[in-house]
Chains A and B, each alone.
Chain A
Amino acid sequence: MKARVTVTLKNGVLDPQGKAIEGALKSLGVEGIAGVRQGKVFDIELGTADKAQAEAALKAACEKLLANTVIENYRVELT
């Protein structure tokens, strides 16, 4: 079983990197972009076939390390 964890900044948290990317896209002449927020994606290989166990492990991974919940949200997709 595999999972993809996506970590994104919470709304309202200033994202200078996203802003810089947004500016670079504008200077490249890419039109129709209203805003960019940068996040992280983790592709995770699970060592269990048990869905509930996998979900628990992923939640623990996100809460303990992958996301800093002061500023970030996370989303888990099992595939």
Chain B
Amino acid sequence: MKSAVIVFPGSNREGDVLRALKSAGSQAEKVWHAETELPKGTDLVVLPGGFSYGDYLRCGAIAGRATVMDAVRAHAARGGLVLGICNGFQILCESGLLPGILMRNANLKFICHRQFLRVERNDTAFTKAYAKGQAIDVCVAHGEGNYTADEETLKRLEGEGLVAFRYSDAQGHITQDANRNGSMNSIAGIYSDKLNVLGMMPHPENLIEDLVGGTDGRGLFESLVSSFARAA
């Protein structure tokens, strides 16, 4: 599998994502935001976390309109896989690839802590290595992760099974306490209609080694690589 990690001015998690991808067995390279095309043969595009353009205007607003995003939109339209983590999720929402928006956390605080997520479905390219309903232990670090969408969009996301992850406790129970940023329906990540675009606020790439205290994030990258091993 070949991955392209898009780097915007202010991205800062590209190194960790590259490492997670490579350790799961993907080829991976960085691609600068001003490029007009993705490297030939790109299977997966990753928009990493960070503070692109200093979060000016709205988080992800300027990056969402970068030159390379036309190529990313075309890749997604062809059914290509796209993963946006944290600021990458904000960019996907601002670029129109995913519905809704990430608003300021309801408690107005930047939150940075370990966080359990419930895996809502495990039949997608991103989550095959997990069990449905499994609570995975990753982490969050954001000030604007409060997922908000209009009623119709929310109904569609729920009705079509497009919620990827929800904030949960260690047992996978969805509680108010676990939803620290105030997201509607405790949404931590969503898929596009065709399940080929995933945006999520938490950082799976942070928890891929026992050395740093956990490996629950590995499954996401291993799922992606194994999807390609089978497809190829």
Residue contact B103 to A70, C-beta cutoff 8 Å: no
Pick the contact of A68: B61, B62, B104, B108 (CB < 8 A). B61
Residues from chain B with a CB closer than 8 A to the CB of A20 are 108
B side interface size, CB within 8 A? 20
Those of A4-57 within 8 Å (CB) of chain B? 13-14, 16-17, 20
* B interface residues (Cβ-Cβ under 8 A, vs A): 57-58, 61-62, 65, 94, 99-101, 103-108, 146, 148-150, 182
A14 CB contact (under 8 Å) in B57, B94, B106, B149 = B106
Q: Are A70 and B101 in contact (CB under 8 A)?
A: yes
B-contacting residues, A42-79, CB 8 Å: 64-66, 68, 70-71
Given contacts A65-B61, A68-B61, A70-B150, contact A17 B100 (CB under 8 A): no
Pair A14/B101 contact, Cβ less than 8 Å: no
Q: Are A16 and B65 in contact (CB under 8 A)?
A: no
A71 — which chain B residues lie within 8 A by C-beta?
Answer: 101, 103, 148
Closest 7 A/B residue pairs (Cβ) = A16-B104, A16-B108, A70-B101, A20-B108, A71-B101, A16-B106, A68-B101
B107 surroundings in chain A (CB, below 8 A): 16
The residue in chain A whose Cβ has the minimal distance to the Cβ of B99 is: A70
CB neighbours of B149 from chain A (8 A) = 70
Does the CB pair A65–B104 fall under 8 Å?
A: no
Q: A65-B61, A68-B61 are in contact. Are A16 and B100 (CB under 8 A)?
A: no
Q: Is the CB of A17 within 8 A of B148?
A: no
Cα-based distance from A17 to B109 in the complex (angstroms): 11
The docked-state distance in angstroms from the alpha carbon of A65 to that of B69 is 14
Contact of B103 among A16, A65, A66 (CB under 8 A): A16
Q: A16-B146, A68-B58 are in contact. List 17 more A-B contacts (CB 8 A).
A: A13-B148, A14-B103, A14-B106, A14-B146, A14-B148, A14-B182, A16-B103, A16-B104, A16-B105, A16-B106, A16-B107, A16-B108, A65-B57, A65-B61, A70-B149, A71-B103, A71-B148
